Amino acid sequence: MARITAAILSLPITAAAWSDDSQVWEALKTDGHIALLRHALAPGIGDPPAFQLDDCTTQRNLSDGGRAQAKQIGDRFRENGIAAAEVYSSQWCRCLDTAALLGLGTVKPLEAINSFFQDFERREGQTASLEKWIRSRTLKEPIVLITHQVNITALTGSFADSGELIVVRVPEGAPLEVVGTLQSD
């Protein structure tokens, strides 16, 4: 029984363990945490077969509802005391647009959070590179990474819905730990 209890206590804390969203927001404002945000609503799955990264007309893009959702997520950041953050985005247009609509700061494209949905062979190496990049940051100010469901799942084991924010603790010398999730309304 003691082993079972110890195993349960060692599991990452999930959103259900938090009494309210304010605790998740507070965690994001403390050192050693990072936010992963799945891009806002973009109808469909994956991208058309001949999509081009530098041509948004060939990609799956945000819907009107997705653009409104991204603005609302930015408002939630500000309502919870985060008016600015380091914002990094996948180079996919739906992520770049989500990042810009948050209104939290200059958006910096980051190849390490590009989707590998259509090339799962990149999953392991890209996820390791992303974790190394995260661990190289000082994590003294809020950092938000706007990316894709496959990237978030590979890094954290958590499935993120469109517009869902996953707050992760980055402990030194230990695995990343999901401390909570925040759903967009």
Q: What is the CA radius of gyration of the chain?
A: 16
Tell me the three state secondary structure of residue 167.
Answer: strand
User: In this structure, is residue 7 part of a structural domain?
Assistant: no
CA 83 to chain centre: 17
User: In this structure, is residue 11 part of a structural domain?
Assistant: no
Provide the pLDDT for residue 20: 62
User: In this structure, is residue 151 part of a structural domain?
Assistant: yes
CB 39 within 8 A of CB 162: yes
Tell me which residue range forms the domain holding 96.
Answer: 21-42+56-174
User: In this structure, is residue 13 part of a structural domain?
Assistant: no
**CATH number of the CATH domain containing 162:** 3.40.50.1240
CB 184 within 8 A of CB 164: yes
User: In this structure, is residue 150 part of a structural domain?
Assistant: yes
For residue 179, give Cα distances in angstroms to 24, 41, 136. Answer: 7, 24, 20
Where does residue 68 rank: exposed (0-12), middle (13-18), buried (19+ CB within 10 A)? middle
Give bridge partners of residue 168 from the DSSP assignment.
34, 178
CB 156 within 8 A of CB 127: no
CB 152 within 8 A of CB 130: no
pTM of the model: 0.87
**131 vs 125: CA distance, rounded Å:** 10
Q: What is the pLDDT along the chain (185 residues), one digit of tens a residue?
A: 333 333 333 334 333 333 468 999 999 999 999 999 999 999 998 888 889 999 999 999 999 999 999 999 999 999 999 999 999 999 999 999 999 999 999 999 999 999 989 887 889 999 999 999 999 999 999 999 999 999 999 999 999 999 999 999 999 999 999 999 998 86
Domain count, the chain: 1
Region class of 44: left (phi > 0), else alpha (psi between -120 and 50), else beta: left
Provide the pLDDT for residue 71: 97
**96 vs 147: CA distance, rounded Å:** 9
